[in-house]
């Protein structure tokens, strides 16, 4: 995904994003980076240096750091292929349309494309897979919070995007990723994703309105 070059006004808007929202954006971006392609040597090195704490997220980070220290890029690439690519299809199909309808390229993708156009989110030229991939959705959510595609999206609009495109299926996907037969490196990634979706769902619920 890509947005236009930021104007001075947009840079000013970005500086005004609350610290807790920058943390949210960073977490979504972190998940997107882990899910868009297999981790390379530099990423494994960075992950190996992470440390957590005595919280659910902290323990998942510790687990991810431990597997990053124990695995090679070749092993991670093989696991990524087994999970998401496979011979014809991987163990998991990380697309909103599939989880929500049982088929690819269905109405959830059409709704996403409409909302991407509404929020000035453009598909990256080098990306050919459907935009409702979990990595793309995490990247878009990060950009909407941070103001990558213009002014930072107000919380009610963030909540609407989350409720439409992530809440109906992402926690289910991340739970499947935790439990997948092929998951070793990606099991704690699944835990982190599931916890993030649960935290976001609860935060938006407490903010008022219908639970996403």
Q: For 97-111, give the secondary structure using H, E and C.
A: HHHHHCCCCCHHHHH
Task: With 0.85 as the threshold, say if the pTM is over it.
Answer: yes
CB 79: neighbour CB atoms within 10 A? 22
Contact 153, 144 (CB under 8 A): yes
- Determine, yes or no, domain membership for 14: yes
Please report where in the chains the tokens 């991987």 appear, as a residue.
90
> Mind listing the pLDDT tens digit of every residue in the chain (212 residues)?
544 454 444 444 555 689 999 999 999 999 999 999 999 999 999 999 999 999 999 999 999 999 999 999 999 999 999 999 987 789 999 999 999 999 999 999 999 999 999 999 998 777 778 999 999 999 999 999 999 999 999 999 999 999 999 999 999 999 999 999 999 999 999 999 999 999 999 999 987 544 45
Across all residues in the chain, what is the average pLDDT?
A: 91
Domain that holds residue 177: 8-206
- Determine, yes or no, domain membership for 110: yes
**In this structure, what CATH number is given to the domain that contains residue 172?**
1.10.3480.10
Domain count, the chain: 1
The 10s digit of each residue's pLDDT in 144-161 is 999 999 999 999 999 999
Q: For 27-74, give the secondary structure using H, E and C.
A: HHHHHHHHHHCCCCHHHHHHHHCCCCCCCHHHHHHHHHHHHHHHCCHH
């Amino acid at each position: 995904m890509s947005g236009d070059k930021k104007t001075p006004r947009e840079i000013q808007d970005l500086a005004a994003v609350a610290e807790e929202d920058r943390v949210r954006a960073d977490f979504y971006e972190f998940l997107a980076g882990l899910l868009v392609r297999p981790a390379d040597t530099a990423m494994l090195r960075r992950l190996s240096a992470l440390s957590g704490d005595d919280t659910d997220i902290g323990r998942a980070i510790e687990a991810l750091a431990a597997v990053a220290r124990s695995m090679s890029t070749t092993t991670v690439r093989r696991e990524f292929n087994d999970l998401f690519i496979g011979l014809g299809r991987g163990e998991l199909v990380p697309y909103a349309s599939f989880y929500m309808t049982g088929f690819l390229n269905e109405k959830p993708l059409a709704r996403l494309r409409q909302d991407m156009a509404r929020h000035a989110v453009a598909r990256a030229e080098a990306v050919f897979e459907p935009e409702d991939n979990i990595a793309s959705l995490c990247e878009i959510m990060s950009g909407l919070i941070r103001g990558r595609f213009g002014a930072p999206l107000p919380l009610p609009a963030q909540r609407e995007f989350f409720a439409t495109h992530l809440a109906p299926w992402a926690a289910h996907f991340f739970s499947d990723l935790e439990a997948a037969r092929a998951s070793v490196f990606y099991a704690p990634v699944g835990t982190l994703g599931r916890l993030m979706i649960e935290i976001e769902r609860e935060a938006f619920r407490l903010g008022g309105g219908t639970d996403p």
